[in-house]
Chains A and B, each alone.
Chain A
């Protein structure tokens, strides 16, 4: 009846695990009680959970990402504090528990922090930026959200019921096979990754179609804002790379569930196949995450330098080139696993070549700032901090791309330092900048700039303290993922790294303050214009937060930086002659239901509760069939309702001053930057 689920699944094996489980359960109970107390279940269900509005889906994605950021960060704190103390002693984490912590840290940060954060930004901004009312497939969008959430839910539940994987976030066999990991841990990892991966594939398809088919009239490909370009390339990569993850994890599941021999040691298995398949997904994944962050930086740099982006076309081509090259380098993840010198050389060179378009981008951002009229908004802090730090990470990456050097440093903390050096500034800083930048657009008021700058300084100082020592430790030969060690020379570095983690903790606290103070001062910073930063792209044309239909009248585009041109021409806020009825997708509970049952399906499979798995699969199938047979999934916002909303909008607009749109690059004091896009 309950498969292998028994009372032993509860985390009585360690006080720390019980504490984590307690916090998780308590958090869930608190949310449940608060929603019940304030009688918000109905509101929450009908306005948020079942919403097909891309903006609300975006907000929910980001809320999920921030929750998981905190969870993943707690894991990081545990590892840093353990390693700071574990010289010649056991520290406070038993070995098996430490292994769960590093596995869940990586899994959470990639799949359930970075991916939802990124998808949230896609959803918030892309339809508004390309001048359309919604994504191409709103229901599928909701399905993607709830698949991702159900994967995240499985990881959270693993802390309370059973254990998480100890095989690292990449789950290499044969260790992750049944022979060496017979427990539920790897199964939690497998199902979390499989289910959320399907959500990501669907998101990729959704945004490719949205961007290619739904742009406002006149917005040719080379008039698309750079963020939209990076989302397009990133979505193509998602659609092409995530199937490889599905295959890798699917085959591992077949090994574990049906006693097959894809990746076993004996009986004709070949574990290198898993590693190859995993990185065919895994390397493009790095660029899936980083390209949209590059898009955010591009928007931020242009807006806050008050200039058109320097070398727009070179940025587009560099983005596309990175997208293509990202599929040609996956083997550098296993230089040391016996591929031979020639193969290693080819993949080493391919890896280094990716640095070229990335370098092009860095120079484009710098030239955009050059002779710009820079405003030091918190987003600009994150951007400049990113450029400096990311270049250091790029240099260490080129070092690792040299196979003989990689032989020396693979699986040491040098590698750990390198990829955190890419992903923290390159991905997280970008998403945080994007969140601050678009927060007024999504919610209607600004975050606290003061606390935002404090958060930035804590993060960047903490980052250097936490990860620079790991480079040195790597050169001293410290392997990654050690829960204890006997070499005294390592400890001072690890203590500095732990202090760095504590400084980042202060940064996380500042971020929370940024939000809380922002909420407290919301009346002061409420955004009536819809354009708080003097923006250049179409999303700033809508109100903040935008009406359900985004644009009452779809704008016409005749240049790059379409909104800026409208402001310069004085056509940005003209009243249309009239409004028409607008058809929008109606809310649907089917997405939540399918997501909930995908969670049940994963849980049942993990614990071998076959009847429940079959039942939930059936429910998901029925949901898909029912939804795909429905004809009337829309509702109509009448022209009168649109007129009322827009009337309010024009009243708001009349109350705020207009931005200055004088172009510093065009003024006589400053010569136009060479080659700047018009």
Chain B
């Protein structure tokens, strides 16, 4: 299941088992996070019509902006995949390169999201405007916060790869970061389909 086992199909000592446990534990953590997002989605769907006297979030969406964000995030998932392949091949330089590319794309996504939020607040549609806007900013913002934490994590693991090399503990951490990063992609697809598409279409 884990990259560690894939790398060492012959040997499965207690160390490997510990990494497998960590991978399993991390999957469980992602499930708990998925529940948080599921409930935020449900809250958004229930509250989206509650626009009170504020502008409806739907009227503020811009197809091209959202498309740009989506492209950045999806491509960053791809580049992270390339980093993982380089990791399995044991190419340290390549791993660092692709992590850097992933970081730049992810940072671009966060920057675009901040621009979008700033624009909405400037247009008088801040998170305090209505129940609908509160739910929008919380759902999308929680995802953005996760991406930002992922960026910090990429820096930390990039440093670890550079200093410690592709040791077993480091590759196992990188594997879990990969799970996290791809998970955020899936959540974004949900946000795109549930929040932005119904607004734009």
Contacts and interface: CB of A to CB of B under 8 A. Distances in A.
Contact of A270 (B39, B47, B137): B47
Interface in A110-141: 136-137
A343 to B, nearest CB: 15
A629 B160 contact: yes
B21 A213 contact: yes
Nearest to A244: B39
A266 interface: yes
Contacts of B127: 254, 258-260
A213 B20 contact: yes
Interface in A222-269: 239-240, 242-244, 246-247, 251, 254-255, 258-262, 264, 266-269
Nearest to A632: B169
B131 A239 contact: no
Interface stretch (A157-165, A181-189, A201-209): A201-209
B49 to A, nearest CB: 8
Contacts of B173: 628
A273 B35 contact: no
Contacts of B156: 625, 629
B50 A251 contact: no
B128 A205 contact: no
A660 interface: no
B128 A258 contact: yes
A583 to B, nearest CB: 8
B150 to A, nearest CB: 14
A631 B130 contact: no
B2 interface: no
B32 A242 contact: yes
A238 B173 CA distance: 25
A214 B14 CA distance: 11
B196 to A, nearest CB: 20
Interface residues of A, number: 40
Interface string B133-160: 1110110000000000000000010001
A628 B164 CA distance: 14
Interface residues of B, number: 41
A205 to B, nearest CB: 5
B39 A277 contact: yes
Contacts of A214: 21
A209 B51 CA distance: 44
Given A213-B20, A260-B128, A239 B31 contact: yes
B28 A208 contact: yes
Main secondary structure of the interface of B (DSSP, over half): helix
B134 A262 contact: yes
B21 A209 contact: yes
Nearest to A280: B39
A261 B167 CA distance: 48
B47 A137 contact: no
A585 to B, nearest CB: 11
A629 B156 CA distance: 9
B24 A213 contact: yes
Nearest to A239: B32
Given A209-B28, A251-B138, A270 B131 contact: yes
Contacts of A637: none
Contact of B131 (A208, A213, A244, A269): A269
Contacts of B40: 247
Given A251-B138, A267-B52, A625-B156, A209 B35 contact: no
Interface in B9-38: 14, 17, 20-22, 24-25, 28-29, 31-33, 35-36
Given A137-B25, A209-B21, A270-B46, A261 B39 contact: no
A212 interface: yes
Pick from B20, B35, B36, B137 the residue with the most CB of A within 10 Å: B35
B32 A240 contact: yes
A261 B32 contact: no
B66 interface: no
Interface in A537-569: none
B137 to A, nearest CB: 8
A268 B28 contact: no
A151 B40 CA distance: 24
B13 to A, nearest CB: 11
A268 B51 contact: yes
Given A240-B35, A254-B138, A267 B28 contact: no
Pick from A137, A261, A270, A273 the residue with the most CB of B within 10 Å: A261
B36 A206 contact: no
A214 B18 CA distance: 10
A339 B171 CA distance: 51
Interface in B60-108: none
Contacts of B21: 136-137, 209, 213-214
Contact of B169 (A201, A204, A631): A631
A264 B128 CA distance: 11
A262 B44 CA distance: 10
Contacts of A206: 25
B131 A268 contact: yes
Given A247-B39, A261-B52, A267 B32 contact: no
Contacts of A631: 164, 167, 169
Contacts of A270: 46-47, 50, 131
A268 B35 contact: no
B181 to A, nearest CB: 16
Nearest to A255: B134
B36 A268 contact: no
A118 to B, nearest CB: 19
A205 B130 contact: no
B36 A243 contact: yes
A209 B25 contact: yes
A177 B130 CA distance: 15
B25 A261 contact: no
A244 B39 CA distance: 7
A242 B33 CA distance: 11
A625 B160 CA distance: 11
A581 B24 CA distance: 27
B51 A244 contact: no
Nearest to A631: B169
Contacts of B43: 247, 251, 262, 273, 277
The 3 closest A-B pairs by CB, nearest first: A268-B131, A268-B50, A260-B134
26 contacts: A137-B21, A201-B32, A204-B32, A205-B29, A205-B32, A209-B24, A214-B21, A239-B28, A242-B32, A243-B36, A243-B39, A247-B36, A247-B39, A247-B43, A251-B138, A255-B134, A261-B131, A262-B43, A262-B135, A267-B54, A267-B129, A268-B130, A268-B131, A625-B156, A631-B164, A631-B167
Given A251-B138, A261-B52, A270-B46, 5 more contacts: A205-B25, A213-B20, A240-B31, A247-B36, A254-B134
